[in-house]
Amino acid sequence: MALEERLALTDSITKKIQILQKFLIANLHFQNTDLIIDRSIEKIKAVNGFISIKELSSSLNMSLDAFE
C-alpha cells in the first residue's frame, strides 16, 4: 500500500506521524547507501582500480565488515 493511502486510511495523528517517520527513515537509509556506493566508485576510478578493500573502507570511514 502506498504512503498516501496508508495516511488517508489512518485517523490518528499519532499513527500518521509513525507511518511518516518509518517512511522517511527507510528512504534516508537508501540515500545514505547510495552515497557510499557513489563515493566508493569515485575512489576506485581515481586510483584506476588499484586499491584494496581494506584501504577503500578505511578511506570511507567504514568498518571492513560494514563495507563488505
One digit per residue, the tens of pLDDT, for the chain of length 68 reads 888 999 999 999 999 999 999 888 877 766 666 788 888 899 999 999 999 888 988 888 888 887 66
Q: Whole-angstrom Cα distance, residue 19 to residue 8?
A: 11
DSSP state of 59: H
41, 50 Cβ separation under 8 angstroms: no
Which residue matches cell numbers 489512518?
10
* Dihedral (CA of 17, 22, 25, 28) sign: negative
Q: Whole-angstrom Cα distance, residue 40 to residue 11?
A: 44
Model pTM above 0.85: no
